[in-house]
Amino acid sequence: MSLAEVPSPSPSSSSGSDDFAALLDSELELASGADSAFPDDEGEDDGSEVEVEVEALEQNGTKRRRVEEQHQDQGISVRPDKIVTGSSKNVQVKVCPHPGYFNGLCFRCGKPQDEEDVSGVAFGYIHKGLRLGTTEIDRLRTADLKNLLRERKLVLILDLDHTLINSTRIQDISPAEHELGIRTAATKDDQNRSIFALDSMHMLTKLRPFVREFLKEASNMFEMYIYTMGDKAYAIEIAKLLDPSNVYFPSKVISNSDCTQRHQKGLDVILGAENVAVILDDTEYVWQKHKENLILMERYHYFASSCRQFGFGVRSLSESMQDEREGDGALATVLDVLRRIHAIFFDTAVETDLCLRDVRPVIKVVRKEVLQGCKLVFSRVFPNTARPQEQMMWKMAEQLGAVCSTDVDSTVTHVVAVDMGTEKARWAVGNKKFLVHPRWIEAANYRWQRQPEEEFPLTPPKEKIRRKENAVAGQKGTTIKDKENVVAVVQKETSKDSEENAVPDQKETSEDKEENAFF
């Protein structure tokens, strides 16, 4: 029905009067006269009938519902499958377990959700208003697992900031970045550009080198999810950049609004089983419950604001017009690790039923391959009073597959030290063993690869200063590697600090800091 069909009274008839009553009277007179002009194919008392309908709904909702249920139970007006069983006379109603809800309606029986029933988990990232009970989640996971394994796929959960991308607020762009025309680069019409302006959010985003190839390759081995502590609008914008045709992450973009626990990420909102889930994230802290599924990523800092936020005084990649390398950067490296994990998991020589296999021990096995065959001795790396076996570096080396020892012997391959003057350091030099800085272990830990030992030499005090200067200046070539190492170490320390000081107040501040800097 269009506006044109609504009769409008002739304006002139009542003009000239500023008396309201008279005006309205005339209007209403016209209106009642026009009533018959309304299309009304239902007859005269249609109106009143419908009013009853409405009233019944309004005032008699409960009663009405009860009547409808009665209908349903007897299988008269509605015939729901399976829910209603029994003979027509002796009605027996099997209670629906209400597996989940869609905007407050049980999606199995259609009944409204009991207001006191707030169990289950919201799955707003799949569809607004969707909520699943734990039994249903388990059921879906089991069904999903079979499908996945049939396709020879595992589940991969990807963090965004510092893992796949780096973002900055436009207002935080440094003068040097401005001068280099970073904003122009972000709006250039170039298919291969990796820096983008998110205009609506006043942000710039830089894709990590190799990310497109990474996603393409990983999608053959994994069902992938994005899982970010950023907000929903941001996550969706980034997903559009990473996956313009929406093939990798359909209904699989999880943001802070989906988290069930504040400041924590959990696999509870993922309809994939824990035993097939691999997580890539640069922050360990948020995955308290799922550390075994996690592959910790080296943080990607491209923008100056990102470096500042994490406390590096060095010139950022953007400011020095450099970037991680495509071929052997963090994403290329981790892709190899994922391939290895996938291959071991689906190893046909293993007899265990696929459904019973677990990716977590596989991750451990692959990690143990990194420093396999290395036997390390630490020299004055730990405080004298501490038990070396309990030191983080010792444990890390063991997780990477190295054997750690407190005494030197002929089977030792590496001496780890910070000072060239120790007895064990001199022993290493005399016996042609590798003498490396502890950063060598950390680098291997981040890159899942044994690093060339010569790149981690011990530096005499004088040289140390010079190298530091180099790093600050930030040049090309090999020194970049050094810089990255510095970054890795500093990073480590910062994140460790924040984890240890997990008192509520400080946590808040670090959260705030993250939010301010948009991660």
Partner 1 sequence: MDSLSQPPSKRPLSSSATDFREVSLASPPAADDEGERSKMFFHIVLERNMQLHPRHFGPHLRDKLVSKLIKDVEGTCSGRHGFVVAITGVEDVGKGLIREGTGYVTFPVKYQCVVFRPFKGEILEAVVTMVNKMGFFAEAGPVQIFVSNHLIPDDMEFQSGDVPNYTTSDGSVKIQKESEVRLKIIGTRVDATEIFCIGTIKDDFLGVISDPGAAV
CA proximity to 131, closest of 144, 146, 139, 121: 121
Which one, 50 or 473, has the nearer CB to partner 1? 50
Look at residue 130 and give the partner it binds from Zn ion, partner 1, none, a contact being a CB closer than 5 to 8 Å depending on partner kind: partner 1
Q: Which is nearer to partner 1, 223 or 298 (CB)?
A: 223
Token couple for 286: 């948020």
E runs forming strands in 324-470 = 375-379, 403-405, 414-417, 434-436
- The binder of 98, among Zn ion, partner 1, none, by C-beta within 5 to 8 A per type, is Zn ion
Beta bridge partners of 222: 154
Q: Any contact of residue 355 with partner 1 (CB under 8 A)?
A: no
Q: How far is the CB of 290 from Zn ion (least distance, A)?
A: 31
Say how many residues make up the chain: 519
Quick one: tokens of 68?
């409808």
Region from 35-43, 89-97, 189-197, 484-492 binding Zn ion, contact rule CB under 5 A: 89-97
106-125: contacts with Zn ion (CB under 5 A):
106, 108-109
Window of 93-101, 114-122, 413-421, 431-439 that interacts with Zn ion by CB under 5 A: 93-101
Residue closest to 47 by CA, chosen among 35, 58, 65: 35
Q: How far is the CB of 191 from partner 1 (least distance, A)?
A: 22
**Residue with Cβ nearer Zn ion (96 or 122):** 96
Expressed in angstroms, the distance from the first to the final Cα of the chain is 52
In sequence order, what E strands does 80-236 have?
84-86, 91-93, 100-102, 105-106, 121-122, 130-132, 154-158, 165-169, 195-198, 203-207, 222-227
Q: Count other C-beta atoms under 10 Å from residue 17's C-beta.
A: 11
Q: Minimal distance in Å, beta carbon 101 to partner 1?
A: 9
Question: Radius of gyration of the chain from Cα atoms?
Answer: 33
Interface region with Zn ion, contact rule CB under 5 A, candidates 100-108, 225-233, 252-260, 313-321: 100-108
Q: For residues 42 and 515, which CB has a smaller minimum distance to partner 1 in the complex?
A: 42
Q: Which is nearer to Zn ion, 30 or 96 (CB)?
A: 96
Which listed residue (112, 311, 421, 452) binds partner 1 by CB under 8 A?
112
Candidates 94-102, 192-200, 227-235, 366-374 — which segment interacts with partner 1 by CB under 8 A?
94-102
Residues contacting partner 1: total by CB under 8 A: 85
Task: Please tell me the distance from the alpha carbon of residue 249 to that of residue 490, in angstroms, as a whole number.
Answer: 33
- d(CA 63, CA 69) in angstroms, rounded, equals 10
- Is residue 176 involved in binding Zn ion (CB under 5 A)? no
- What sign does the CA torsion over 177, 181, 185, 187 have? positive
What is the closest distance, in whole angstroms, from the C-beta atom of residue 270 to Zn ion in the complex?
24
471 vs 377: CA distance, rounded Å: 29
Residue with tokens 């099997």, as numbered in its chain: 94
260 Cβ contact list (under 8 Å, min separation 6): 121, 266, 268, 269
Does 48 bind partner 1 (CB under 8 A)? Our answer is yes
Q: State the minimum distance, in angstroms, from the CB of residue 134 to Zn ion.
A: 15
| Cβ at position 245, least distance to partner 1 in Å | 9
141-143-144-145 Cα dihedral, nearest 10 degrees:
80
3-state helix/strand/coil string of 501-512: CCCHHHHHHHHH
Binding-site partner at residue 184 among Zn ion, partner 1, none, CB < 5 to 8 Å by type: none
Q: How many residues form the binding site for Zn ion (CB under 5 A)?
A: 5
76 binds partner 1 (CB under 8 A): yes
Q: Show Cβ contacts of residue 353 under 8 Å, excluding neighbours closer than 6 positions.
A: none
* Nearer CB in complex with partner 1: 77/260: 77
Would you state the structure tokens that stand for residue 251, as one six-digit string?
Answer: 């209904």
Binding to partner 1 (CB under 8 A): which residues in 127-166? 127, 129-130, 132, 140, 143-144, 147, 151
Q: Which is nearer to Zn ion, 96 or 335 (CB)?
A: 96
The CB-of-99 to partner 1 minimum distance in angstroms stands at 7
Q: Which of residues 13-42 bind partner 1 (CB under 8 A)?
A: 14-15, 20-21, 23-24, 27-28, 30-32, 34-35, 37-40, 42
The answer to whether the CB of 69 falls within 8 A of the CB of 95 is no
Contact map string, positions 219 to 238, toward partner 1, x by CB under 8 A: ----x---------------
In this structure, what DSSP letter does residue 153 have? -
For residues 262 to 281, the per-residue mask of contacts with partner 1, x marking binding by CB under 8 A and - elsewhere, is ---------x----------
- List 22, 33, 56, 493, residue binding partner 1 (CB under 8 A): 56
Smallest distance, partner 1 to C-beta of residue 290, A: 22
Give whole-number Cα distances, 210 to 57, 187, 222, 324, 332, in Å: 59, 20, 17, 9, 7
CA nearest neighbour of 333 among 459, 451, 416: 451
Considering only residues 33, 85, 93, 110, which one is a binding residue for partner 1 as defined by CB under 8 A?
A: 110
Residue closest to 236 by CA, chosen among 201, 202, 281 = 201
- For partner 1, the binding residue among 45, 189, 500, 505 (CB under 8 A) is 45
Q: Check residue 93 for interaction with partner 1 (CB under 8 A).
A: no
* Shortest Å, Cβ 122 to partner 1: 13
Which partner in Zn ion, partner 1, none is near 326 (CB below 5 to 8 A by kind)? none
Task: Using the minimum distance from each CB to partner 1, give the nearer residue, 47 or 181.
Answer: 47
Positions touching Zn ion (CB under 5 A) are 96, 98, 106, 108-109
